[in-house]
């Protein structure tokens, strides 16, 4: 901006020099300090306007589509572009992970109101692995107790075994013809540490907050 003022001054001075050389009358003197002061005031006003916009943005945080169960318990923030008729995908802030809840009418998909059930991968020590990182999911019961797991962001590549659970008997059959895959380690999470009751009371509701 200072370079622009210098150019402006030169353009104003040159005509007066030319007129003096030709013997013409000189224009009235220019108050250069007034020009500089006006430019500085405009810059300050512009900075103030920009800061006002920033303050406005910071004082109005982005809203999220929050998901609640039928009893009003907060489940998480809607993570997909829009809720699906079969499941709602959410981000759970207190756990810093994602999950999905079955809200559809297909109980064989996994029980209604339940946390997403993952495909069941195991290593030779029968440790459970997930296809997806940073996820809360309902583990295979295989006729036993329901357990929940958190998958980490640590990838492991190996040839796992795969268990398929029968919908009726709830028993699991094992297959090992999968080939090498990249999976994610998991850790069991007690039901008491899940920040809402499971299975989830349906129907869920949504609130833009």
pLDDT at 72: 97
* Gap between the Cα atoms of 134 and 76, Å rounded: 14
Among 58, 76, 91, identify where a domain stops.
Answer: 58
- Residues 110, 145, single domain; the answer is yes
Chain center to CA of 174: 36
- Burial (CB < 10 A; 0-12, 13-18, 19+), residue 82, is exposed
94-102 long-range CB contacts below 8 Å, 24 or more apart?
A: 94/195, 95/136, 95/150, 95/194, 95/195, 96/134, 97/134, 97/135, 97/136, 97/150, 97/151, 98/134, 98/135, 98/136, 99/135, 99/136, 99/137, 101/75, 101/200, 101/204
pLDDT at 140: 76
pLDDT at 46: 55
pLDDT at 38: 67
Residues sharing a CB contact under 8 Å with residue 47, sequence separation 6 or more, in sequence order: none
- Residues 109, 176, single domain; the answer is yes
- Residues 23, 69, single domain; the answer is no
* Gap between the Cα atoms of 88 and 70, Å rounded: 14
Question: How many domains, in total, are found in the chain?
Answer: 2
- Residues 42, 110, single domain; the answer is no
- Residues 163, 137, single domain; the answer is yes
- Residues 21, 82, single domain; the answer is no
pLDDT at 42: 65
Distances (CA, A) of 186 to 8, 131, 144, 152: 69, 10, 19, 6
Q: Give residue 198's pLDDT band: very low, low, confident or very high (50, 70, 90).
A: very high
- Residues 103, 200, single domain; the answer is yes
Helix, strand, coil percent values for the chain (each to nearest 5): 25, 30, 45
- Residues 169, 91, single domain; the answer is yes
pLDDT at 190 over 60: yes
- Residues 70, 132, single domain; the answer is yes
**pTM, 2 dp:** 0.65
- Residues 82, 170, single domain; the answer is yes
* Segment 195-206 mean pLDDT: 94
- Residues 34, 91, single domain; the answer is no
Domain hosting 38: range is 2-58
108-151 pLDDT, tens digit per residue, is: 557 889 998 766 787 877 788 888 889 998 887 776 788 899 99
Among 16, 38, 58, identify where a domain stops.
Answer: 58
pLDDT at 167: 65
40-82 pLDDT, tens digit per residue, is: 666 566 556 656 655 654 565 667 889 999 999 999 999 876 6
Among 58, 79, 96, identify where a domain stops.
Answer: 58
Phi-psi region of 70 (alpha: psi -120 to 50; beta: other; left: phi over 0): alpha
pLDDT at 181: 85
* Gap between the Cα atoms of 66 and 208, Å rounded: 6
- Residues 87, 161, single domain; the answer is yes
């Amino acid at each position: 901006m200072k370079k622009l003022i210098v150019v402006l001054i030169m353009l104003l001075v040159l005509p007066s020099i030319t007129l003096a050389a030709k013997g013409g009358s000189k224009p009235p003197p220019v108050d250069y300090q007034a020009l500089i002061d006006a430019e500085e005031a405009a810059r300050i006003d512009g900075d103030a306007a920009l800061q006002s916009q920033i303050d406005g943005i910071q004082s109005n945080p982005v809203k999220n589509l929050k998901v609640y169960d039928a009893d009003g318990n907060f489940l998480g923030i809607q993570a997909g572009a829009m809720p699906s008729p079969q499941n709602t995908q959410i981000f759970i802030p207190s756990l810093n992970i994602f999950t999905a809840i079955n809200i559809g009418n297909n109980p064989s998909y996994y029980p209604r109101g339940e946390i997403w059930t993952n495909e069941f991968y195991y290593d030779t020590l029968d440790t459970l692995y997930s296809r997806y990182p940073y996820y809360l999911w309902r583990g295979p019961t295989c006729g036993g107790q329901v357990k929940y797991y958190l998958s980490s962001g640590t990838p492991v590549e190996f040839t796992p075994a795969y268990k398929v659970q029968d919908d009726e008997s709830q028993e699991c059959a094992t297959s090992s013809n999968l080939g090498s895959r990249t999976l994610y380690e998991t850790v069991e999470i007690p039901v008491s540490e899940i920040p809402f009751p499971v299975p989830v009371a349906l129907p869920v509701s949504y609130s833009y907050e």
